[in-house]
Amino acid sequence: MTSKPHFLTLVTGDASSYTQSNYGDYADLFERLLQRDGDRWSRRDVVRGGVKDLPPHVDAVLVTGSAATAHERMPWMRALESTLLDFLDRSVPVLGVCFGHQILALALGGRTERNPLGWEIGSAALTIQSSGPWLPERIEALPPLLQIHRDHVAEAPKTALIHASSSQTAVQMYSVDGLALGVQGHPEFTMDILQDLVKSRVTAGTMSAQHLQDVQQSKQSQPEFWRTHLRSFIEQRSLKSQQGPK
């Protein structure tokens, strides 16, 4: 009998009250995107709950987005970086999205900063730079991906392969050794979720009405594409264990 794949989501921020009421928290969004029958999913709020006593045997780790700034290197962030390196040392794939993409890059020796070009918001056209463990060479184009960030990976880790860029963000996606994968955009978001985030920031004065207009004119991501290819990345370890030794 094969064991059920076990995935761990490390939650680094809170979804808005609107998102939580209508879609769930950030861990729920990833599960909705990537879950298949027979999976087992665990989650940990690493801001409030830390990284001690995490499940010892998982097939992949996901790190969510957050309003936090990765290069502030707060104590919980440094603890998270060490934990991610520990998982990678044990050949556990790690997928980081938005903040997760940035903190993973820092853990691996990259550098993040505030993007001098400002916010990247809405659906961004992506340019393929290279194939990789999740992106076969036969794929000639990527669908647009929803974005909401003003920090970015300014320098990728030295051994990273950069897989995609946008007009505003040179490192939209990267991987290291086939086990670490960073994605700056939000494959787990819907347009409704993104509009709610932007509206709240316009009200708070951290975004402009033009930002909201840009989002309202954006194209929805293609979740099926991201589901297929990101799922192939996170399940690589469980598939190998099911195949057994050769």
The residues annotated as belonging to the active site are 98, 186, 188
Q: How many CB atoms lie within 10 A of CB 213?
A: 12
SS3 74: coil
**What is the C-alpha to C-alpha distance for residues 83 and 226, in angstroms, rounded to an integer?**
26
For the CA atoms of the chain, what is the radius of gyration? Answer: 17
Q: Are strands 6-11 and 60-63 parallel, antiparallel or unpaired?
A: parallel
- Helix, strand, coil shares of the chain, percent, nearest 5, are 35, 20, 40
DSSP string across 142-172: ---EEEEESEEEEE--TTPEEEEE-SS-S-S
Contact 188, 30 (CB under 8 A): yes
SS3 230: helix
Contact 79, 50 (CB under 8 A): yes
Q: Are strands 161-165 and 111-114 parallel, antiparallel or unpaired?
A: unpaired
In the numeric block, the tokens 């990284």 are attached to 51
**What is the C-alpha to C-alpha distance for residues 205 and 223, in angstroms, rounded to an integer?**
30
